[in-house]
Amino acid sequence: MFQPGDKVFWERTPGAKAKVNVVEQIDAETVIITYRIKHTNKFKKRTVNAGTLTYINQMFQPGDKVFWERTPGAKAKVNVVEQIDAKTVRITYRIKHTNKFKKRTVNAGTLTLRVSVEPSSSSSAAIDLSSSTDASAVDLSSSADASADASAESKSSAVDLSEPMTDKGSVARQKRPKKFKLASIEMLKDGTRFGVDIFNSKVAEVFSKFWTKRVPGDGWCLLHSANLLIKFYELQIYPYTKEDLRRIGRQMQDDFADDWTIDDKTGTPVKNILTNELINPSNLSENWAAFLAKEMDCRFIIFTCQSRIDAEVLPNEAEKRKYRPKMDVWSFTAREVLPYPADEKTTYTHTFYLYNNGHYWPLIPRKQVNPNELIMKWGNQTYEHIVEE
């Protein structure tokens, strides 16, 4: 918790920090700060998110959770083992995609303390600006103290298993995140075709509660969406690569030894080799969502919509196959995907949301949402309409 008079860095925008003074911490997420207006002797107060503030010249204690700026612009969440002297700190962090931890001695100047989110129990008056002018007088247009956005580039950390975890996916983001759009506007369809009005009404009712952002449509959109969620919510794991998915597929293959699938080209049954799905993928199956859910300690709520024209096959006089439209079909599904392998004992910490229309879209709640209510509103049903000749 910040105290009145604390001198801190305020990260106004990713990569741009300034030194300011704390006036008062109102609650776990809100702090009042003061700073000098550029090229004047006037000071201004402002209410900011506590997560944008970090301490200056912090002495670290064993167990402190900190950001380590390994290289300029690349930060990771790590734990402090001990501070050896004013310039040297020993830290520990988890090795990528393992449960093994490594210790390392680093420069104290590369570490910044992560903000505590304990509820405030104190109420304090505004500080006397006349006695702290030299500390809080800052040109906020300067980027001398700039560094990369730690929250968006977190890569690893040593996890304190005794610390209670919170569901980050349930936190509403009322203010639109940078480069995100309102999902209900992004997904709306035009036209008078059957089913469009049904789809748009569901979109307005469900997706108006979410922000979204398009990820690359290269067949790995599920992976890209998962990585966006990892970065957005600052999960204490590395983003995943295509090779990571291949490794996971090989590890899980024994569980699918008796599974069969239909070959798209020949129409014949073949053994389900998980990694085969990763060869020039178009839209990864929910098996991979379950694998990623296990890695991310979460469940996914996935909304899907498939629309198609079923064709009627008729022989013509030359005994050739002739196709003509027969039925316009719209299928809506909404379900939870639990960490693999799911059973009655399966647990998870976070709930994250995806939309799949042949392309996966990550969804960020902008309002408080009830997953079960959203699943019911989206529904699991199919609408059909005979196509008139």
Residue 325 has pLDDT above 80, yes or no: no
327 shares its domain with 375: yes
Angle at 167 between CA 165 and CA 169, to 5 degrees: 145
Please answer whether residues 28 and 118 qualify as being in contact, where contact means their C-beta atoms are separated by less than 8 angstroms. Answer: yes
Q: Which residue, among 35, 38, 28, 40, has the nearest Cα to 10 in the 3D structure?
A: 35
| Domain end (from 92, 114, 136) | 136
346 shares its domain with 206: yes
Domain of 48?
Answer: 7-136
Q: In whole angstroms, what separates CA 369 from the centre of its chain?
A: 16
Q: Confidence class of residue 128 from pLDDT cuts 50, 70 and 90?
A: very low
185 shares its domain with 128: no
| 305-312 contacts at long range (C-beta below 8 A, 24 or more positions apart) | 305/199, 305/202, 305/330, 305/331, 305/332, 305/357, 306/330, 306/331, 306/357, 306/358, 307/195, 307/199, 307/331, 309/387
Residue 351, domain member (yes or no): yes
| 48-52 contacts at long range (C-beta below 8 A, 24 or more positions apart) | 48/10, 50/2, 50/25, 50/115, 50/117, 51/115, 51/151, 52/10, 52/11, 52/12
pLDDT digits (tens, 9 = 90+) for 31-81: 899 888 877 778 888 888 887 887 765 677 888 888 888 776 677 888 888
- Report residue 125: phi and psi, to 5°: -85, 165
Residue 142, domain member (yes or no): no
290 shares its domain with 338: yes
Write out the two tokens for 231: 């970065």
pLDDT digits (tens, 9 = 90+) for 83-112: 887 678 889 888 876 777 888 888 887 887
State the pTM of this model: 0.57
Residue 248, domain member (yes or no): no
Q: Which residue, among 280, 312, 289, has the nearest Cα to 222 in the 3D structure?
A: 289
DSSP run (H or E) holding 225: helix 221-232
Determine the Cα–Cα distance for residues 269 and 260; give it in Å rounded to an integer: 6
112 shares its domain with 233: no
pLDDT of residue 124: 33
327 shares its domain with 369: yes
Mean pLDDT of the chain: 79
Residue 339 has pLDDT above 90, yes or no: yes
Residue 161, domain member (yes or no): no
237 shares its domain with 324: yes
Higher pLDDT, 125 or 90: 90
132 shares its domain with 172: no
Please answer whether residues 150 and 17 qualify as being in contact, where contact means their C-beta atoms are separated by less than 8 angstroms. Answer: no
Residue 124, domain member (yes or no): yes
108 shares its domain with 203: no
Higher pLDDT, 358 or 118: 358
Residue 267 has pLDDT above 80, yes or no: no
Residue 203, domain member (yes or no): yes
213 shares its domain with 74: no
Higher pLDDT, 281 or 14: 281
49 shares its domain with 118: yes
Q: What mean pLDDT is predicted for residues 324-330?
A: 81
pLDDT of residue 74: 74
- Structural domains counted in the chain: 2
Please answer whether residues 293 and 300 qualify as being in contact, where contact means their C-beta atoms are separated by less than 8 angstroms. Answer: yes
Q: How does DSSP assign 345-372, residue by residue?
A: T---SEEEEEEESSSEEEEEESS---HH
